[in-house]
Amino acid sequence: MTLKTLPSTIDIPVSHYSGCGNDFLLVDNREGGIPELSPECISALCQPEYGADVDGLIIVQHSKSADVAMKFYNCDGSVADM
């Protein structure tokens, strides 16, 4: 997926998941190759005109104490309460 809202475009591999009536984009960043995304970038990813019409974004990251760590974001780019 290429984001059109950034000064320069960047390709971010994403997967689309659904569960309990919600749709999410999932980004696998366990290897740390994806830069930190701004709230505006996350919001753009979740909108149909730039990315996908989803309820939020999940970023999967490496964890030293569990199999993975996950960050959840709402479609407006804010951190989701979990």
pLDDT digits (tens, 9 = 90+) for 57-73: 999 999 999 999 999 99
Kindly list the strands in the beta sheet with 15-19, ordered across the sheet, starting from the edge strand earlier in the chain.
15-19, 22-29, 56-61, 69-74
Q: What share of the chain is helix, strand, coil (3-state, %, to 5)?
A: 10, 35, 55
pLDDT reported for residue 3 = 46
pTM score above 0.95: no
